[in-house]
Structure 1
Amino acid sequence: MKIVVIGGNGLVGRQIVALLNERGHEAVAASRATGVDIVSGTGLDAALAGADVVVDASNSAAPYGEPSYDFFSQGARHLLAAEARAGVRHHVAISVVGTDRLRNSPYFRGKGAAEDMIRASGIPYTILHATQFYEFLLAIVEAGGVSGQALRLSPAYIQPVASTDVAEAMVQIALDPPRNTTLEMAGPERERMSDIVKRFLNDLESPVDVLIDEHAPYFGAVLEEHSLVPCDAAHRCPVGFATWLQGSEYAKANW
């Protein structure tokens, strides 16, 4: 089976490509590095020729402001049109838990617009809503904007997940028949964003102090306490924060 992975050189995409190839499938990474640009549509028809399944693991390079909305909305429009021309039988997309609750953020509004187009496209699909990757904690710090030695973060709950678990799930979804629905998955532990980021920074021996601010924006959205947590039926993955951190490039032993 030929499976094209959009964003196939990214954090999750490259893991998906490797896992699919290990299992004997023809997995093709498509990204700007390979001449494929979903925002403009460049290279899509050639990349999708003969594809049975398309996995969209792409992400906006600029997760702030209207450019992120344009990336997801225009990208989905061009990608789905190319899939229809190629006769793709299953569209698999990774999105974010809480997308439907955070439409005041351009990033999440763009994600939501892309999901709406997927559902209306007529192409069989499966959407996976995953919680934040552990690897994404550093991006949360960068997005929060450190002032002096203080970082203001929301105390909203999050339930992060290992990218390896997400890649495994995406591979299985791609190999299964389309569900025509949205699934959710998360890590095993629920914790306040401010607390887990503080633990992360402490392990990095960072001098930054994490301050709780209920109004601190999260990629343009102000969070309610449960804006980012999964539904009760969500699949819980096994890798916890401490286990992930110990084996990550951020572990103290590696410094």
Structure 2
Amino acid sequence: MKIVVIGGTGLIGTKVVDELRGQGHEVVPASPRSGVDTLTGEGLADALANAQVVVDVSNSPSFEDKAVLEFFTTSTRNLLAAEAEAGVRHHVALSIVGIERSPENGYFRAKVAQEKMIKESSIPYSIVRATQFFEFIKSIADGATEGDTVQVPAAPFQPIAAEDVAHAVSEVAAGPPLNGTVEVAGPRRMPFDECVRTALSAWRDPRQVIGDPEATYFGAKLEEHTIVPVGADARLGAIRLEDWLSR
């Protein structure tokens, strides 16, 4: 089966490409680096020729509200149009758990818009919503640092290893379209501040971590279930934070 991975040279994309190739699929990693630009449409027709599945794990180069909305809506519109022309039978997109519960977050609003376009298109689809990645913990801490203190929310947090996200995306891509959404999260739920504190301690980072119920996450105040799965249907990754940190 020919599978095109949009964003196939990034953090998740490279892992998805490797896993799907290991399963014996013909996999094409597509990104501006390889001459495929979803914003302009350049290279899309050639990349999608004879493809059965397209996996979109691309990301906006800018997190500014207007720029990120423009990226996801334009990219998704061009991609879906090219897929319809090529006869693609399954569109798989990576999204984020809880995006509809944080309207203050411009990035989340952009992902909501992207999901809406996918659901309204003629292409059978699957949306994989993941929690935040272990790989983002340092940048989250850096963004919440003032002096020697990291002030983050105290709400529940259930981050996941990028490797586990890629496995879930690959599994869905190799199967039939869900025409729905599946959530994936790390194996353990913990307070946000405990997660950051655990990671910084493992990295011998001396910053003090404070859990503040009033602290926001990219502009959004987190409640009990804002960025964690609700219900028992989420697929859980296998890699624990402690094991990932020890690598």
> Is the contact between residue 64 and residue 219 of structure 1 (CA under 8 Å) also seen in structure 2?
no
Displacement of 1:214: 2.6
Displacement of 1:212: 2.3
Displacement of 1:91: 0.2
Q: Percent of counterpart pairs with the same letter?
A: 47
Partner Cα distance (1:65, 1:216) in 2: 20
> Is the contact between residue 187 and residue 236 of structure 1 (CA under 8 Å) also seen in structure 2?
yes
Partner Cα distance (1:141, 1:181) in 2: 33
Seen in structure 2, the aligned counterparts of structure 1 residues 42 and 142 have a Cα distance that, compared at 3 Å, is farther
SS in 2 for 1:93: strand
Displacement of 1:42: 2.4
1:100 aligns with 2:100: yes
Query: TM-score scaled to structure 1, two decimals?
Result: 0.92
Partner Cα distance (1:138, 1:45) in 2: 38
Query: TM-score scaled to structure 2, two decimals?
Result: 0.95
Seen in structure 2, the aligned counterparts of structure 1 residues 64 and 154 have a Cα distance that, compared at 3 Å, is farther
Seen in structure 2, the aligned counterparts of structure 1 residues 59 and 130 have a Cα distance that, compared at 3 Å, is same
Displacement of 1:64: 4.1
1:69 aligns with 2:66: no
Displacement of 1:185: 1.3
User: Which amino acid is the alignment partner of residue 25 of structure 2?
Assistant: H
Partner Cα distance (2:218, 2:72) in 1: 15
Partner Cα distance (2:220, 2:213) in 1: 11
Structure 2 counterparts to residues 46-125 of structure 1, below 5 A: 46-125=46-125
User: Which residue pairs with 1:140 in the alignment?
Assistant: 140
Displacement of 1:207: 2.3
User: Which residue pairs with 2:171 in the alignment?
Assistant: 172
Alpha-carbon displacement from aligned partner over 1:92-124 (angstroms, at most 9, x marks no partner): 011111112112211000001000000000100
> Is the contact between residue 183 and residue 234 of structure 1 (CA under 8 Å) also seen in structure 2?
yes
User: Which residue pairs with 2:6 in the alignment?
Assistant: 6
User: Which residue pairs with 1:128 in the alignment?
Assistant: 128
User: Which amino acid is the alignment partner of residue 90 of structure 1?
Assistant: H
Partner Cα distance (1:4, 1:29) in 2: 6
User: Which amino acid is the alignment partner of residue 47 of structure 1?
Assistant: A
Greater displacement, 182-191 / 211-220: 211-220
Partner Cα distance (2:215, 2:40) in 1: 34
Partner Cα distance (1:33, 1:184) in 2: 30
User: Which residue pairs with 1:42 in the alignment?
Assistant: 42
Partner Cα distance (1:161, 1:185) in 2: 8
Displacement of 1:152: 1.5
SS in 1 for 2:126: strand
Displacement of 1:166: 1.4
> Is the contact between residue 154 and residue 212 of structure 1 (CA under 8 Å) also seen in structure 2?
yes
Aligned length: 246
User: Which residue pairs with 1:22 in the alignment?
Assistant: 22
1:213 aligns with 2:212: yes
> Is the contact between residue 158 and residue 193 of structure 1 (CA under 8 Å) also seen in structure 2?
yes
User: Which residue pairs with 1:185 in the alignment?
Assistant: 184
Q: Which runs of 5+ in 1 are unaligned?
A: 248-255
Q: Which runs of 5+ in 2 are unaligned?
A: none
Write out the 4+ residue segments of structure 1 that deviate beyond 3 Å after TM superposition: none
